[in-house]
């Protein structure tokens, strides 16, 4: 029932998102903090997701990007109603809905829906990960020179830009190439299904990471913080990979950021 609830909520949210795409005016955009925006579509999408969850799981807690922030314990839904808002504002077609379910601090369900490609990624604790119902696995790339690496710019922490560019230079020198797509949730799914091989980013929020954390884990990959600790939801400093490449990218990230961020 909970998987079906998450899938329904994601599809209902996507219907709202698609209705507004290309129609967002500056008057419908609010500034949460410098360089970080929220739109009417974010708010309406989140409201619909919460409505679906409340109707089916009324006793569950909510931890959503734009509204409710219930405390931990029991079942709690972590919701990103529109991951990739800046892309969405510009009708740049890389954005998603990300919904995860936590039980007593452990992520047990993750759903990420890409409405532009009609791709539904689902991960269930101990049951693997799927894309539109088909099982997915991480890549087997073991050579950095063959790897496609994903990242996100520290747009909320531009004071970190010099450190970030240093890590970018270090990783780019060894990787085949790097992409910056603008939706961390979809980046994690790309690693889970083998479209990309590794990822790093500073300053993500729990709702950005939660579903992707389980997606990658259930697909055979690995996600840690910058110090190699598991479950980086609450630090927001994320290194993810197919597992094979993790020692390489983690070492390069640590070499850059050690002493500059908290462990």
DSSP letters, 37-59, are EEEHHHHHHHHHHHHHHHHH-TT
Which runs of E-coded beta strand occur in 176-258?
Answer: 177-179, 198-201, 222-224, 238-241
Could you give the CA distance from residue 205 to residue 156 in angstroms, rounded to a whole number?
A: 11
106, two tokens: 């452990």
- The confidence score (pLDDT) of residue 237 equals 93
3-state secondary structure at position 28: helix
Domain layout of the chain by residue ranges: 2-135, 144-257
- The confidence score (pLDDT) of residue 23 equals 63
Report the top-level CATH class of 144-257: alpha beta
User: 64-71: long-range contacts at Cβ-Cβ below 8 A with a sequence spacing of 24 or more?
Assistant: 64/207, 65/205, 65/207, 66/38, 66/42
* Per-residue confidence in pLDDT tens, the chain, 263 aa: 899 999 999 999 999 999 877 666 554 555 455 544 567 888 899 999 999 999 999 999 999 988 889 999 999 999 999 999 889 988 999 999 999 999 999 999 999 999 999 999 999 999 999 999 999 999 999 999 999 999 998 766 667 788 889 999 999 999 999 999 999 999 999 999 999 999 999 989 999 999 999 999 999 999 999 999 987 999 999 999 999 999 999 999 999 988 777 76
**Sign, Cα dihedral of 218, 220, 221, 227:** positive
Could you give the CA distance from residue 237 to residue 46 in angstroms, rounded to a whole number?
A: 24
- Burial readout 198-209 (b: 16 or more C-beta within 10 A, e: otherwise): bbbbbbbbbbbb
pTM of the model: 0.93
Instruction: Look up the CATH superfamily of 2-135.
Output: Fructose-1,6-Bisphosphatase, subunit A, domain 1 (3.30.540.10)
| Strand 36-39 with 61-64, pairing | unpaired
Q: Give residue for tokens 């910058």.
A: 226
| Strand 148-151 with 198-201, pairing | parallel
Beta-carbon contacts of residue 101 (< 8 Å; ≥ 6 apart):
2, 6, 60, 75, 76, 77, 78, 107, 108, 109, 110
């Amino acid at each position: 029932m909970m998987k079906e609830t998450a899938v329904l909520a994601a599809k209902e949210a996507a219907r709202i998102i698609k209705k507004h795409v290309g129609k967002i005016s500056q008057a419908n955009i609010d500034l949460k903090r410098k360089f970080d925006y929220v739109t009417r579509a974010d708010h309406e999408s989140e409201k619909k997701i919460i409505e679906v969850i409340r109707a089916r799981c009324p006793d569950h807690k909510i931890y959503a990007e734009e509204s409710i922030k219930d405390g931990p314990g029991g079942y709690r839904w972590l919701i990103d109603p529109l991951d990739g808002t800046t892309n969405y504002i510009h009708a740049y077609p890389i954005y998603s809905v990300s919904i995860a379910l936590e039980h007593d601090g452990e992520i047990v369900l993750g759903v990420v829906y890409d409405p532009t490609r009609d791709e539904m990624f689902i991960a269930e604790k101990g049951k693997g990960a799927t894309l539109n119902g088909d099982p997915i696995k991480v890549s087997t790339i073991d050579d950095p020179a063959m790897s496609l690496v994903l990242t996100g710019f520290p747009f909320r922490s531009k004071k970190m830009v010099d450190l970030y560019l240093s890590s970018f230079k270090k990783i780019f020198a060894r990787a085949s190439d790097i992409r910056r797509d603008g939706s961390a949730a979809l980046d994690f799914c790309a690693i889970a299904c083998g479209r990309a091989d590794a990822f790093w980013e500073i300053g993500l929020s729990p709702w950005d990471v939660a579903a992707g954390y389980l997606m990658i884990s259930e697909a055979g990959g690995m996600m840690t913080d910058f110090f190699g600790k598991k479950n980086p939801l609450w630090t927001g400093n994320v290194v993810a990979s197919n597992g094979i490449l993790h020692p390489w990218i983690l070492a390069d990230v640590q070499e850059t950021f050690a002493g500059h961020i908290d462990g």
